[in-house]
Amino acid sequence: MITPSQRYYRNAARKTVPVPEGMDRVVLSIIGRWRRRAGVKRRLRREARKVLKISEQRFKGLDEKELSEEVIRLHGDARRGSLDGGGAREAMACLVIICERVLGMTPYEEQVMGALAIKQGLFAEMATGEGKTLTIALGSLILAWSGYPIHVITVNDYLAERDAESLRNFYRFAGVEVGFVAGKMEPDERREAYTCGVVYTTSQELLADYLRDRLKVGEDQAPSQQLVRQLFSSQLGEGGSGQVMRGIHTVIVDEADSVLIDEAVTPLIISRKHKADDFAECCRVAREIAMSLKAGRDFSIDHARNEIQFRTSGEYQIDRQRHRLSPIWRSPDRREELVRQALVAEEFFLRDSHYTILEGKVEIIDEFTGRLMPGRTWKQGLHQAIEAKEGITSTDPTETLASMSFQRFFRMFRHISGVSGTAREAAGELWTLYRLPVVKIPTHRPCLRHIEPMAVFGSSDLKREAIVNEIEELHQQGRPVLVGTRTVEESEILAEMLKERGVACDVLNAVRHKDEADVVARAGKKGAVTIATNMAGRGTDVKIAGPELEIGGMHVILVDPNFSGRIDRQLMGRTARQGDPGSVRAYLSVDDELITRFLPKFMKKRLKLASMAQSVGYQRLALSCIHHAQKASDRLGANQRKSVLKMDTWVDEHLSFVPESRRM
């Protein structure tokens, strides 16, 4: 017999509906535009003003005991499901006053708008520096009063711990315990944290715990019960032996465009190593065979899709050398796959861009954040191919025990909402995949950011020289400068050039990240020069003092365009926050990776000629080329996510043990 709790969670999973095609897709798009129309923002503003008015008239004069009694009353109303309309406004007004009393901060009208959007299951686009941390706290608290588990997704472990600890008294006064889950925590610590009403963690830790719980349930149950209980028990909160989570229901995602879009197709895999003594030797031999092949003659390269296709001569060369491989790897498919991975590692994966070497191990760098991904490995022999390329000891291959894409995981939640400074470019996809309407929250003060003309050069060397000249000039003026690069290698090159000129700088990248908080704290000081990868664009807060504001505020330099315009806008958002002054300049060279990978040949040639001649309108042409290349990159990413979604749909439709209500 299906209990009401089971029926509730089975119905909750109906959010995982397939992406429609044809006229259904058109209708869905129209509905999405209606859900994110301008009227939604106006309605949120009216609601926020009512909330602030109620907080002044109803709660401001209460003493601590009376306010605590109001919390208990509203908490009970939320448990009974009666916090709608006027009740929701009253609850939010109470939280506004608690915030003033406990944290000493009065939420702005715009922050209340964002919190109301979170409660209603909307995606709130809030500019960088507008106080998203407090907005999320207000939204998560009013949702936590319902009693369902609330998970807040942050960019990294440091931010998860920081936010949970700094807001603990605020949550506790409102009758909700808050916890955090970080990568190094033991199962008992995780289990204790998940008992809290609100849990701050990362998407990787949350999904990993979910998959481990499913595996544990499968181990503890009889075979006839395993499949069904794996689907439901961690969602139902029936924590069995070894399980750490009490369920999934509501998730609030900070920097949601990065988590829900950029990282969505990457599956999280729970695996275990197994010995394969001959595999390391086969990877070494495969690399030698790959290096004997010639591009254009034996294989073709698709730089946009990072794909290698063998030609007839290439297949013949591999076949001639198959005797060098162990017998199990001599079949046509297996030997070609080994050599293909060796070529992929050589052509597409660059040291200090996609990975780095630390203590004799290959450590992956997240291309969207610039941060290390410790413990993560590439699959299907790619990791061992890169180890063979670098000449280091090969690790044992892994056996997959459980796997799920983030896209599929987040579509399982009953209530999902998000906050980010950059979402408008992905508004259509956020609606299609997650039914998340994007609403733009206005800034508290007018933005004074000055965008300076783009500088375009014919080569990376000329571009670096111009960047260093500008940094040196601004440093002499005393203005703080933040330089954003795509790769670790680029950040180190610029740092060395500045050192030669006697300009001191801080470097923040995947290799040099231990003092991240201190580097960020110094970045806004007079004359400070900070060179950082994309990790400086997410979850950090650069403070600019009065004297620095008087001379123009922070200047941000974009060394090269990112594959997504949203990442560029995140870096720009480091300056001119909350109405402060600041400026931005972007640099471009015709050999930047975005241009070489995603721009058609005729446009690359035209851009190169225009940059050399410095002809009229060349900057407008450069902006057009960047826009074209980033759109092409976004289309490729969207197609990859669509493929993952189709695979998820196929799995649910064809596995007979999936309940009817969960089939897409």
pTM for the whole structure: 0.85
Cβ(514)–Cβ(536) under 8 Å? no
Q: Is pLDDT above 90 for 571?
A: no
* pLDDT for 655: 58
- Asked whether 106 and 209 are in contact (CB, 8 A), the reply is no
- In this structure, which amino acid lies at residue 539? G
Handedness of CA 259, 265, 271, 273 (dihedral sign): negative
At 373, is the pLDDT very low, low, confident or very high (cuts 50, 70, 90)?
confident
Q: Per residue in 230-259, pLDDT tens?
A: 444 444 344 445 789 999 999 999 989 888
The pLDDT of residue 3: 38
Q: What CATH code is assigned to 448-629?
A: 3.40.50.300
Residues of the chain with CATH 3.90.1440.10: 275-396
**For the CA atoms of the chain, what is the radius of gyration?**
26
Which residues make beta-bridge pairs with 270? 402
* DSSP SS3 for 439: strand
Q: Are 173 and 101 in contact (CB under 8 A)?
A: yes
What pLDDT score does 661 carry?
37
Which residues in 223-244 are b (16+ Cβ under 10 Å) and which e? eeebeebbbbbbbbbebeeebb
Least confident of 109-118, 278-287, 476-485: 278-287
Percent helix / strand / coil, the chain, rounded to 5: 55, 15, 30
Specify the pLDDT at position 19.
65
Tokens of 42: 């106006």
311-325: average pLDDT: 94
Q: Which fold has domain 275-396?
A: Pre-protein croslinking domain of SecA (3.90.1440)
pLDDT digits (tens, 9 = 90+) for 442-453: 999 999 999 999
For residue 307, report the phi and psi dihedrals to the nearest 5 degrees: -125, 145
Lowest mean pLDDT among 237-246, 358-367, 512-521: 237-246
The pLDDT assigned to 219 comes to 52
What is the per-residue pLDDT for 93? 96
Q: Are 595 and 607 in contact (CB under 8 A)?
A: yes
Distance CA 401, CA 269 (A): 7
Asked if 582 and 555 count as a contact pair (C-beta separation under 8 A), the reply is yes
Burial of 372-406, coded b for 16+ CB within 10 Å and e otherwise, reads beeeebbeebbbbbbbbbeeeebeebeeeebebbb
- The H or E element containing residue 557 is strand 555-558
Specify burial of residue 161 (Cβ count, 10 A radius: 0-12, 13-18, 19+): middle
- CA torsion, points 167, 168, 170, 175, in degrees to nearest 10? 140
Please list the residues that pair with 272 across neighbouring strands. Answer: 399
| Cα–Cα distance, 449 to 537 (Å, whole number) | 16
| Residue 237, beta-bridge partner list | none
Q: What is the pLDDT of residue 4?
A: 37
Which stretch of DSSP H or E encloses residue 336? helix 332-348
Of 3 and 394, the one with more pLDDT: 394
In the predicted model, what is the mean pLDDT of residues 54-65? 94
Could you report the per-residue pLDDT of 110-132, keeping only the tens digit for each? Answer: 999 999 999 999 999 998 889 99
CATH topology assigned to domain 4-270+406-440: Rossmann fold (3.40.50)
DSSP 8-class letter at 266: P
- So what's the pLDDT on residue 387? 93
Residue 27 to residue 135: CA distance in whole angstroms: 32
Q: What's the confidence (pLDDT) of residue 218? A: 67
List, for residues 329-356, the tens digit of each pLDDT value.
Answer: 899 999 999 999 999 999 999 998 889 9
Q: How confident is the model at residue 535 (pLDDT cuts 50, 70, 90)?
A: low
The confidence score (pLDDT) of residue 378 equals 85
Residues 382/336, Cβ–Cβ less than 8 Å: no
3-state secondary structure of 332: helix
Question: How far separated are the first and last CA of the chain, in Å rounded?
Answer: 23
Q: Please, where in the chain does CATH 3.40.50.300 lie? A: 4-270+406-440, 448-629
Q: Which of 92-106, 342-356, 397-411 has the lowest mean pLDDT?
A: 397-411
d(CA 366, CA 497): 25
Determine contact, residues 357/397, Cβ cutoff 8 Å: no
Mean pLDDT for the chain overall: 86
Residue 432 burial (CB count, 10 A): 20
